[in-house]
Structure 1
Amino acid sequence: MSIQRLSYLGFEVSDVAAWRAFAGARLGVMETSVGEDGARFRIDSRAWRLDVRKGTADDFSFAGYEVDSEDALVAVRKRLEAHDVAVTVEGPDLVADRGVLGLVSCRDPAGNRVEIFYGATEMFEVPFVSPIGVSGFLTGDQGLGHYVLNVPDTAAALDFYIKGLGFHLSDVIDWKLNNELTVRLYFLHCNGRHHTLALLSAPAGKTLHHFMLELNQLDDVGLALDKFEADRAIVATLGRHTNDHMISFYGATPSGFAVEYGWGARGVPPGWSVVRYDRISIWGHRFV
């Protein structure tokens, strides 16, 4: 038994107010709760998908993965423990905070917090409405989107996510950053989305390289691109990736890591074969 999809992401941020403004006006996500110490945002019928909490790290805080039932949660917990991973069965306070029916947590080899749960809260009775008119985000069985972690030991991380959580390798890109440095990115899937998680080991930078939101319409990407350009907040220009074929751009968040905003990615159908690439993009994605 394996995890089914990425459900939510948490970030520790130094400026909650800046994130509230950024999330609504630039990403077009819907604020669902806010306090002095944090805020949460919706992108679909789920009660929340993104969590920002006050802190100094300005980086990744946690990822929440979903399974379909209590039995599946027990099976994933046993799978992790069989892989010598220490698993905590979380108590009612955190279960209530996350709005789920059952929750366990653990750490990957780099120390990143991973939560696995079943029974998320749906809010069909309060439809998602984007504050800037975004048509919608691609979620459903593919989950929230994807994120990319910079880890010190990719071999150890791959062992955890593949053997412990049940991810599958989609493909590999040898990314030439400059004449002296090439890093290998490993792209992992757990459902039909081409990748839910990617791993790399770079000599510097934050733990979170970027997270990705996939839009329902290409025009949503173009409209957001105009706003990021007006703010001079483009990290990488519009382009199309070699492996998942997504058309996207990368923008700066208030915390210094990037957000990828894209449309049109291909999935991983039955019979998928692992391959490697020498380039990360077919065209575009030039660093600004």
Structure 2
Amino acid sequence: MSIKKLGYLGFEVADVPKWSTFATTKLGMMEASASETEATFRVDSRAWRLSVSKGPADDYLFAGYEVDNEQELQELKQNLEAHGVSVKVEGQELTAKRGVLGLISFSDPFGNRIEVYYGGTELFERPFVSPTGVSGFQTGDQGLGHYVLNVEDVDAALAFYTKALGFQLADIINWTIGDGLSTTLYFFYCNGRHHSFAFAKLPGSKRLHHFMLQVNGMDDVGLANDKFDADRTVVMTLGRHTNDHMISFYGATPSGFAVEYGWGAREVTHHWSVVRYDSISIWGHKFQAPA
């Protein structure tokens, strides 16, 4: 398995300035660059981790995964092509924009863009400082949090993400959403983080269900929860998940999908066994209608 971590995420958003305010004042991210049409944000020593670009979709735009070096990038490219995936070697313009040394791109079976790179830019000389005083975000060897996609065909998604990309299945949850709706969530890891990626066949038209940021302290979660609660944009209350044991809440973003903000997740071990669950949470995580 050559993919080591989720490196960055990109969203297409209708209102870039609104996202800039949201990311800095509610999530505690540090603005790295900003214009009326695009903005990037930091959560650690990397030059950027989140990008928002102006467009009508208000949805997922791309995910970037990191490998260790050029050899691993070439090996992954060969494996993708062996599984019938069309891979593009990106040129200097996009490579420079992403701030990486090498970059390939391709799509999953549903048209979701994926990028894989090596050689991301570090900015230790310009330390990350959260504008809201967040003590720090859990990244490092675990990469940037996770995200959950809505897929049309579970079997096609399983084949692509495990065989072509080499992700490992952590567990599944048979989730009864309510009102007669139920689905199965599939969770995948590529390092010690319980899951960097998950998918399910979900109601709604958005590709992205939510993305997650993990902070270093429970107080960071509580303080962020207060900010979302103050303007009634909590969509799932504070709770603890059954599978990764993370304590988190979910808030509405300016684009309509959710952000999970959490702390305290357990990690995958070398002796991990795949299991299943009948509930997403041990306690909490109750749905709330946003304002």
- Is the TM value for this pair above 0.5? yes
Report the Cα offset of residue 204 of structure 1.
1.9
Q: Which runs of 4+ in 1 moved over 2 A?
A: none
Aligned to 1:252: 252
Determine if contact 1:12/1:55 at 8 Å carries over to the other structure: yes
- After superposition, residues 23-62 of structure 1 pair within 5 angstroms as 23-62=23-62
Aligned to 2:269: 269
Aligned to 1:223: 223
Report the Cα offset of residue 31 of structure 1.
0.1
> Using the alignment, how far apart are the partners of 2:90 and 2:195 within structure 1?
28
Aligned to 2:136: 136
> Using the alignment, how far apart are the partners of 1:134 and 1:287 within structure 2?
26
> Using the alignment, how far apart are the partners of 1:217 and 1:203 within structure 2?
33
Aligned to 1:21: 21
- After superposition, residues 2-13 of structure 1 pair within 5 angstroms as 2-13=2-13
Q: What amino acid does structure 1 have at the position aligned with 2:121?
A: T
- After superposition, residues 174-253 of structure 1 pair within 5 angstroms as 174-253=174-253
Q: What amino acid does structure 2 have at the position aligned with 1:214?
A: Q
Determine if contact 1:188/1:196 at 8 Å carries over to the other structure: yes
Q: What amino acid does structure 2 have at the position aligned with 1:273?
A: S
TM-score, normalising length: structure 2: 0.98
> Using the alignment, how far apart are the partners of 1:17 and 1:36 within structure 2?
6
> Using the alignment, how far apart are the partners of 2:70 and 2:203 within structure 1?
40
Aligned to 1:172: 172
- CA RMSD, aligned part only? 0.7
SS of 1:27's partner is coil
Q: What amino acid does structure 2 have at the position aligned with 1:172?
A: I
> Using the alignment, how far apart are the partners of 1:41 and 1:119 within structure 2?
18
Aligned to 2:121: 121
> Using the alignment, how far apart are the partners of 1:241 and 1:15 within structure 2?
32
Q: What amino acid does structure 2 have at the position aligned with 1:38?
A: E
Kindly, what percent of the aligned residue pairs are identical? 66
> Using the alignment, how far apart are the partners of 1:205 and 1:84 within structure 2?
27
> Using the alignment, how far apart are the partners of 1:101 and 1:215 within structure 2?
28
Aligned to 2:283: 283
Report the Cα offset of residue 228 of structure 1.
0.3
Aligned to 1:68: 68
TM-score, normalising length: structure 1: 0.99
Q: What amino acid does structure 2 have at the position aligned with 1:270?
A: H
- After TM superposition, the structure 1 stretch with the greater mean CA deviation from structure 2, 178-187 or 230-239, is 178-187
After superposition, what is the alpha-carbon deviation per residue over 1:186-225, rounded to whole angstroms, capped at 9, x for unaligned?
A: 0000000000000100232410000000000000000000
Determine if contact 1:8/1:64 at 8 Å carries over to the other structure: yes
Report the Cα offset of residue 234 of structure 1.
0.3
Report the Cα offset of residue 2 of structure 1.
2.3
In structure 2, the gaps of 5 or more residues are none
SS of 2:103's partner is strand
Aligned to 1:88: 88
> Using the alignment, how far apart are the partners of 1:79 and 1:171 within structure 2?
24
Q: What amino acid does structure 2 have at the position aligned with 1:113?
A: R
- After TM superposition, the structure 1 stretch with the greater mean CA deviation from structure 2, 111-120 or 177-186, is 177-186
- After superposition, residues 142-161 of structure 1 pair within 5 angstroms as 142-161=142-161
